[in-house]
Each structure stands twice: as structure tokens, then as C-alpha cells.
Amino acid sequence: MTATHPFQQRILLAFDFDWTLGEDSFERLVAVMGFNVDTWKSDFYRPLGDNGWDDILAKFEGLRRMCVAAGKTVTIADVEEAGRTTRGFAGAETMPERLRAVARAVDPAVELEFAIVSSGYRDVFGAHPVASAFDRTFGSRLDVEESGAVRGVRSMISHPEKVRYIQALAKGIDTDGANAPSRTNADKSEADLRVAFDQLVYVGDGASDLQAFEFVRSVGGFAIAVSRDGGFAAEGEMLQAQRPDALAPPGYDDGAPLFEVLAHAVRSHASRIALRRMGRDR
């Protein structure tokens, strides 16, 4: 047994998608189907929420009912077109590789892993070019018939469940299967973690990210918020423990405030890894 902390040389950066890496991909799907987004919200989506529907389920059900009224059907081709044509934020596709270069400048052995952990529909945002720049993508899933018609929601990631996925990625727990990730509360020794909890970064933009902010900050990682109109979209719902470490407008180009915030977070974690490596008993 060594006198110093065991260490892992991996940093995990997890991101929401909608309004974090790009504009709202589901609203883009509504537009691709030929509908007015404001009408979908006011006449179909929000009334379901007011009637007790879960927000994630209400989004697709509202669109499905709108399609029925118009004699239309959502297809996987529509879904993928919406994902491809959602406007991504500047620099998002190249951001992972540029942050890896930031880490290497501190310690060449440090590895960065990038994941999208979203309550949004993976079938939609997964078709966006930025998704291929990430190592793992997780989101709610649509139920697609063999014909290509989308008939409903197959599975969903609720807002609190984002924490389970982050825990699973850090602990190296299986994220596949009907009930996965399971056993995320199982104890794992510090030496057996895949990513040390204080080497986590989570980036999000709104109410769906508050529990993830709280968890990541509580274990020593960094929570970073993407602003909208100069502020945080769900500031009124935020508890003290859910406040992020930094708030910056969307944009990942070199020199952009959000990229600089992420670079500082990566340097900090990379320096911690380098320190722990130097501190090992020899």
C-alpha cells in the first residue's frame, strides 16, 4: 500500500447537447416536419406537461399528435435530417482535439474522454456532425418501426439520471442493456475507478443539468454552464449547491470565453494528475 493517492490519468468531460453544443435539435425536428415551433409548444407540448406528462415524453407525444392532425408521420429520415441540420455552436466539432492538446502540454500521458449525456433524443442529435467527435453518446431513444416510421419513445434519460451515467462512466460500469447503468452506487476503491471523481467536468445549459452540476462539484470536479441571453436559463430553479464554477456564452473557437474556461479546467485536472504521478512512492 502506497502512502499517496492512487491516480488515473484520464479526465472525463461530459456535455449536454441542446443549447450546450448546438441549438435545440428537437425544435429543429418540429421545423423539419413543416410546423411552427411556437405553435407546437403552445398547443401540443406544454398542455401535456400541464397535464402531468414527463417533459421528455411530452416533447415527442406533442409532435406525434401534431402530425396526426396534419396527416403526417415522423420518420427516421426526418429525425436524421433534423440532427444533421441543427446549427452547432462555433468550434464544437474540433473542441475535443484542441482540449487534448491543452492536456498534453501539461502532461503528455493524460487522456481526455468526451461524452454527450443528454435527456434529448440521441436519434436526433446523434446525426449531428459534432456527435462523431465524442467518444460516447447517451440520450433518450425513439422507437422506430422497420418501415422507418417513428411510433414513440423507447427509453429516456431523466434529468436526475444524468448523474447515474456520469457515475457509471467514472466507475467503469456497463452502460448497455435495458436497465443500465445499474449498480452505480456500488462501492469502488479509489484505485479501481476508471476516472477519479475529482477529474470530472460537466457542461450544461439549463434545468436538466442542475443535479449533474451538484454531483460533479460535490466530488471535486468542475461544473460549467453555457449561458443564454447573458444568464443561466434555469437560475430561478438553482439551489446554492447547484451553482456552476463558471458561466460563459456558447462558442468553442480558440480564444472564446467558453473554450478558455474548459482549457483552465483541463489544465487544472491535468496538473493534479501530474502531481499525483510525481507523488507516488517509488
Rounded to the nearest angstrom, the gap between the alpha carbon of residue 36 and the centroid of all alpha carbons in its chain is: 26
* Burial annotation 20-39 (CB, 10 A radius, 16+ → b, else e): bbbebbbbbbbbbbebeeee
What's the whole-model pTM score?
0.92
Burial label for 208, CB within 10 Å (0-12, 13-18, 19+), is: buried
Return the bridge partners of 226, or none.
248
Q: In what order do the strands lie in the sheet with 10-15?
A: 150-155, 136-144, 111-121, 10-15, 200-204, 222-226, 246-248
Distances (CA, A) of 12 to 105, 143, 222: 17, 30, 11
Return the bridge partners of 204, or none.
225
Cis status, amide bond into 244, omega within 30 of 0? no
Give me the pLDDT at residue 188, please.
65
Question: Per-domain residue ranges for the chain?
Answer: 10-23+88-278
pLDDT tens, position by position, 21-74: 999 999 999 999 999 999 999 999 999 999 999 999 999 999 999 999 999 999
Average pLDDT for the chain? 91
Tell me, which fold does domain 10-23+88-278 have in CATH? Answer: Rossmann fold (3.40.50)
Say how far apart CA 251 and CA 18 lie, in whole Å: 13
